[in-house]
Amino acid sequence: RVLSLELNKDRDVERIHGSGINTLDIEPVEGRYMLSGGSDGVIVLYDLENLSRKPSYTCKALFSVGRSHPDVHRFSVETVQWYPHDTGMFTSSSFDKTLKIWDTNTLQPADIFHFEGTVYSHHMSPVATKHCLIAVGTKSPKVQLCDLKSGSSSHILQGHRQAVLAVSWSPRHEYVLATGSADGKVKLWDVRRASGCLSTLDQHNGEKSKASSEAASTAHNGRVNGLCYTSDGLHLLTIGTDDRMRLWNSSTGENTLVNYGKVCNESRKGLKFAISCGCNSEFVFVPYGSTIAVYRVFTGELTTMLTGHYSTVNCCVFQPHFQELYSGSKDCNILAWIPAPREPDPDDISEKSLPQQHLNPAYEDAWSSSDDEG
């Protein structure tokens, strides 16, 4: 299904944003509601479900935190994220130096965290049961951890030398956090430890020539502005302004040396890319200019380029229930990429007498076998 992703002519996402879209998130509970954040501070919530049951439909915006809202972000929203356990709450962070915790039902902030510098990225653990920490990457080299329970910045992780552009909790270990910085480094932390830092990833796997003046381990020869764990948490993908993407073994910290070729990355800030989930061989979707490059995670093979946006793509998000992809761009559009309906093999059509269905095959069977719900 992922290999047949195409721009779907039957599905639109209602156009609300009047400026570029920087960030998207689909809630993990039902996979039905999507948040978007724009360069003008606006946040929109969409319902992706086809309520009309017609083959062609538009994903409607349910509501937005628009420019006239008293609590709207003053500057660009860089990250939005649903609370991982239910849709009653979501979070947003912005270049206005704040992180806001929103009540979905009232659209009012339940809490606001203020920082000294621009906020590039934040993340809540998808698996944590023992803590409610939000990791926040800002213009400061210190990684901030905000505690939702107490409403305060609980502690700080020190070790980077420049702005922290990307943060991501491990989906496997609830206390492990990965951070990427403009200093070219990627660090893994155990937030329970006093020192914090578990390791600093080294692209050369420790085999630097002794003559090298640069003793410090770097993950990239440029700013590290994107991080994403594979869904099992065993590997971490990083992306940098050296036009490289690297795959790391997250337990050993080893660079696996998978070669993705040149991955163009001109972003001055965080880049939001996505990894598939539940595919036989996983894929990674990377904004690449005005297109989205799709690579096989473990071989580095570029399988396809998804073209359809008119301007720079800033973010993409994967919907694992249906293997769909949504992307947001500077062109103010959100595009839906849906697997093409498969033509049935001639052998499959044994019962020729069946009447022809007047339905786009993509929508014929919308039910999953719900063994997991029983």
Residue range 293-300: mean pLDDT, rounded: 97
Average pLDDT over residues 100-107: 96
User: What pLDDT is attached to residue 267?
Assistant: 82
Contacts of 272 (CB under 8 A, 6+ apart): 22, 23, 24, 79, 226, 287, 314, 315, 316, 317
If one counts every other C-beta atom within 10 angstroms of the C-beta of residue 30, the result is 11
Strands 57-59 and 11-13 turn out to be parallel
Q: Which pLDDT band, with edges at 50, 70 and 90, does 360 fall under?
A: low
Least confident stretch, 113-122, 128-137, 348-357: 348-357
pLDDT of residue 353: 46
**Is 80 exceeded by the pLDDT of residue 347?**
no
Q: What is the DSSP letter of 2?
A: G
Q: How confident is the model at residue 368 (pLDDT cuts 50, 70, 90)?
A: low
- pLDDT band at residue 341, thresholds of 50, 70 and 90? confident
Max CA pair span of the chain = 77
Predicted confidence band of residue 207 (pLDDT cuts 50, 70, 90) = confident
> How many angstroms separate the CA atoms of 239 and 203, rounded?
12
Nearest Cα neighbor of 148 from 137, 159, 135 is 135
Residues 74-83 have a mean pLDDT of: 97
CA distance 162 to 184: 9
Sign of the CA dihedral with 17 first, then 315, 118, and 90 last: positive
pLDDT higher than 50, residue 354: no
180: helix, strand or coil: strand
Sheet holding 5-7, edge to edge: 5-7, 334-339, 324-329, 313-319
Contact 287, 306 (CB under 8 A): no
Delineate the domains of the chain, giving CATH numbers in brackets.
2-339 (2.130.10.10)
What is d(CA 95, CA 39) in angstroms, rounded to the nearest whole number? 9
Look at 101-115, 211-225, 301-315 and tell me which has the smallest mean pLDDT.
Answer: 211-225
Evaluate if residue 305 carries a pLDDT over 70.
yes
Least confident of 31-35, 112-116, 148-152: 148-152
pLDDT, tens digit, 9 for 90 and up, residues 33-58: 999 999 999 999 999 999 888 989 99
Nearest to 312 by CA among 277, 364, 265: 265
Give the least confident one: 4-13, 62-71, 358-367: 358-367
